[in-house]
Amino acid sequence: MTTIDVYNHNVPAESEFGYSQAIKSGDLIHVSGQLSLDKAGEFLYADDFAAQLKQTYVNLDKVLNHYRVTRNQVVSQTLYVVNLRQNAAATAEGNLAYFGDHRPASTVLGVTELTFPGQVIEISFVVDTKLPA
């Protein structure tokens, strides 16, 4: 029987919207879209792409650390970017800095808006725990 392990940051939005930050089922971890929230669940850095991207990666690392997995075990990612043409270079630069030589499958979508006013980036992952760390 497959066990399910759910992870939350314990922020209000999880109960308000009815979701978890991540769920592990078998060898896969599906990580919900992460964004620039602080520990209390407050949205940070409206309209500041670089600061939001940095905080989003911090929050992704919290999920990876919870499951004791590494960035090298991320098999795919989806990035949602407001003003993609304007933020494409910063998106690529941040992605390369975050993953180094690792190259997960990736989809980048340009969107008109995200959940919070001034939110310009959201990233979700799928992780395979069987891959080498």
DSSP bridge partners of 29: 24, 127
In this prediction the pTM is 0.94
Enumerate residues 6+ apart whose C-beta is below 8 A from 27. 128, 129, 130
Enumerate residues 6+ apart whose C-beta is below 8 A from 16. none
**CA-CA distance, 60 to 71, in Å (whole number)?**
9
Enumerate residues 6+ apart whose C-beta is below 8 A from 40. 11
Q: What is the DSSP string of 48-60?
A: -HHHHHHHHHHHH
By C-alpha distance, which of 36, 115, 37, 28 is closest to 67? 28
Mind listing the pLDDT tens digit of every residue in the chain (133 residues)? 667 899 999 998 899 999 999 999 999 999 999 999 999 999 999 999 999 999 999 999 999 999 999 999 999 999 999 999 999 999 999 999 999 999 999 999 999 999 999 999 999 999 999 999 9
